[in-house]
């Protein structure tokens, strides 16, 4: 845990700010954290009262020990959220035996455009009898938009495509997520 940070990573601070700004209470709800990494978002959800969190990441061994020990957390490491459908029977062996969908999905995926992340997140939401994600104002998706991953080629510079040369480019870089921003309204 970073000194002065109430969560296992600063990611928790970002999500806490979003939950306060919306405002949204996750008290008693089931959530999924796609791209959980060390678990900052997961930690925030638990501290805000989430009943259960499914934490998913392609990495292995990064997730904070205190969260690994928490019975409210189902950790799915070495798992790509973009290619996973938690409703499929073959996923039941990975801690999803009693999976019934989630109320909220939080996303912090690196190197991934929102046009790929959001449809993957929708698959985690509670479904009705027809298999559709239930449209409900108490359910949805909160995603961290990273402008450098949304920007068109040529706008982002550096070996790993990591920076904008002009502030205006940074502000407009996230507009690639715009068409998805109202998904679920």
61-102 pLDDT tens trace: 999 999 999 999 999 999 999 988 888 876 666 678 888 899
CATH of domain 11-144: 3.40.50.150
| Helix ranges (DSSP H) in the chain | 11-21, 40-47, 65-68, 114-122, 147-150, 167-173
* CA atoms within a 13 Å half-sphere pointing along the CA-CB vector of 118: 18
Q: For the whole model, what pTM was predicted?
A: 0.81
| Helix ranges (DSSP H) in 22-81 | 40-47, 65-68
Per-residue confidence band for 163, with pLDDT thresholds at 50, 70 and 90: low
Between residues 21 and 2, the one the model is more confident about: 21
For residue 95, what pLDDT is reported? 78
Mean pLDDT of 156-165: 55
The helix or strand, by DSSP H or E, that contains position 100, with its residue range, turns out to be: none
Per domain, the residue ranges of the chain are 11-144, 149-185
If you ran DSSP here, which 8-state letter would residue 134 be given? P
For residue 88, what pLDDT is reported? 81
CB 144 within 8 A of CB 82: no
Between residues 13 and 157, the one the model is more confident about: 13
For residue 148, what pLDDT is reported? 62
């Amino acid at each position: 845990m970073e000194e002065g940070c109430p969560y296992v990573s600063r990611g928790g601070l970002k999500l806490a700010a979003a939950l306060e700004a919306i405002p949204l209470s996750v008290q008693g709800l089931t959530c999924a954290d796609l791209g959980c990494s060390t678990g900052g978002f997961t930690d925030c959800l638990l501290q805000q009262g989430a009943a259960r969190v499914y934490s998913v990441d392609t990495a292995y061994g990064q997730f904070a020990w205190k969260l690994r020990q928490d019975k409210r957390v189902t950790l799915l490491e070495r798992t790509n959220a973009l290619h996973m459908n938690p409703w499929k029977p073959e996923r039941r062996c990975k801690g999803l035996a009693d999976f019934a969908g989630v109320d909220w999905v939080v996303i912090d995926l690196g190197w991934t455009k929102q046009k790929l992340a959001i449809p993957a997140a929708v698959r985690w939401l509670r479904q009705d009898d027809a298999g559709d994600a239930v449209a409900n104002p108490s359910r949805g998706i909160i995603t961290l938009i990273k402008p450098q991953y949304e920007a068109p080629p040529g706008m982002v510079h550096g070996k790993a495509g990591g920076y904008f040369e002009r502030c205006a480019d940074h502000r407009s870089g996230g507009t690639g997520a715009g068409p998805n921003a109202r998904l679920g309204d």
